[in-house]
Amino acid sequence: MRSDETSDETANPAKIAKAVNRVRLTAVAAALVAAVAGTASIGWWFLREDGAVEPQTSALEEDRAPQAADPLGGLPEDTRSRLTDPVPDRPDLFKLVYGGHPRDLCSAFNRVGVPMSAWTPDPLKEGGWQCSSDLIAVGEENGEAKQSTIFVNLRGGAEDRLDFLRIKMNGDNPDTLGEIKAATRDVLDQVAGRYGWEWPQSLYDAISRAGSAEMSIRGAEIKVRRERSDLVNDGTDVVRLNVVIDFPDGAGSARGDDFSPFEWEKGGEWEKCGRETPKE
């Protein structure tokens, strides 16, 4: 029994060696196949059949993405030009208009000591409306019984429309010139508060130096004019100043109803909407 076991043990190493060799050969062959496949894969990635470098992924995606159709491609050339022209048909200024009722602004001046009349039809202009103050005394009289005054007037082309503001500053008493200037600024601040904006500093500067100036802000035209003392027989130390503000038209000058329709709208959908075709 022992001799048989010894015979099997001496035979096993030869068999094992053969098996190991077969495994090694198989592994080497597999490695060679893998190396050849890897080399071919790398070559395909970097080089196409024509020898050109393979494009990046983003470029491939662009090549494969379908071209989007031009949404304006079916329109005539002149129509496309008009639709894509960056210049508006009727350019207009940005305007900030008074959104409240003018009578509210008339009442607001009471807070700064300038009582106004009610907002009523203008007796001097048909269809117009207005409110105004009397000559409101500001400060004390001087030794010559002269006293500075302020006058305020609001006007509009309709009951709910404000077009015009005038402040007249009469510095008959030079000693109270600072007080009359402050009263003028208070009136302007009430207007600014109602509009929700700020007046340019140049307006307040013109009042402070009692000089003439012109400026624009958000469509409003502002003029400050000092009256010549030699024309009204005043002394050179008497200051009379007019502050006039012309407010922009709230409707604007470029309403949509005024735009000309396209050719395909004329005589068709335009009339169905209840609109008349504007005349060219």
In tens, the pLDDT along 226-250 reads 998 777 777 788 899 999 999 887 5
Structural domain contains residue 78: no
**Range from 23-37, 70-84, 91-105, 168-182 carrying the lowest mean pLDDT:** 23-37
- For residues 135 and 11, state if they share a domain: no
Q: Average pLDDT, whole number, for the chain?
A: 76
- For residues 181 and 228, state if they share a domain: yes
Residue among 110, 261, 101 at smallest CA distance from 190? 110
* Confidence band, pLDDT 50/70/90 cuts, at residue 204: very high
* Confidence band, pLDDT 50/70/90 cuts, at residue 217: confident
Structural domain contains residue 69: no
At residue 153, the pLDDT reads: 96
> Which of the 8 DSSP states describes residue 72?
T
At residue 3, the pLDDT reads: 45
Last residue of some domain: 10, 36, 64? 64
Structural domain contains residue 151: yes
Measured CA angle at 107 (ends 103, 113), to 5 deg: 150
- For residues 180 and 237, state if they share a domain: yes
- For residues 230 and 112, state if they share a domain: yes
- For residues 54 and 109, state if they share a domain: no
| C-alpha span between 171 and 149 (Å, rounded) | 7
- For residues 25 and 130, state if they share a domain: no
H/E run at residue 138: strand 136-138
- For residues 124 and 242, state if they share a domain: yes
* Confidence band, pLDDT 50/70/90 cuts, at residue 280: very low
pTM of the predicted model as reported, rounded to 2 decimal places: 0.57
At residue 14, the pLDDT reads: 61
Structural domain contains residue 273: no
Q: Please write the tens of the pLDDT for every residue from 190-203.
A: 988 887 778 899 99
Please say if the pLDDT value at position 259 is more than 90.
no
Q: How many domains does the chain have?
A: 2
Measured CA angle at 228 (ends 226, 233), to 5 deg: 135
| C-alpha span between 149 and 135 (Å, rounded) | 6
Q: Please write the tens of the pLDDT for every residue from 37-71.
A: 555 555 544 545 555 555 555 555 555 666 778 88
* Three-state secondary structure call for residue 159: coil
- For residues 230 and 110, state if they share a domain: yes
| CA neighbours closer than 13 Å in the CB half-sphere of residue 154 | 29
Q: Could you give the percent of the chain with pLDDT greater than 90? A: 32
Q: Residue 162: left if φ>0, alpha if ψ -120 to 50, beta else—which one?
A: beta
Domain hosting 40: range is 2-64
Structural domain contains residue 205: yes
Q: Are 146 and 135 in contact (CB under 8 A)?
A: no
Structural domain contains residue 55: yes
Average pLDDT estimate for 88-99? 64
- For residues 43 and 141, state if they share a domain: no
* Confidence band, pLDDT 50/70/90 cuts, at residue 111: confident
Structural domain contains residue 218: yes
- For residues 31 and 148, state if they share a domain: no
- For residues 124 and 221, state if they share a domain: yes
CA distances from 62 to 54, 56, 67, 89 (A): 14, 10, 9, 37
Structural domain contains residue 123: yes
Average pLDDT estimate for 144-156? 91
Q: Where are the alpha helices (DSSP H) in the chain?
A: 2-46, 57-64, 77-84, 102-108, 177-195, 201-208, 269-272
- For residues 242 and 139, state if they share a domain: yes
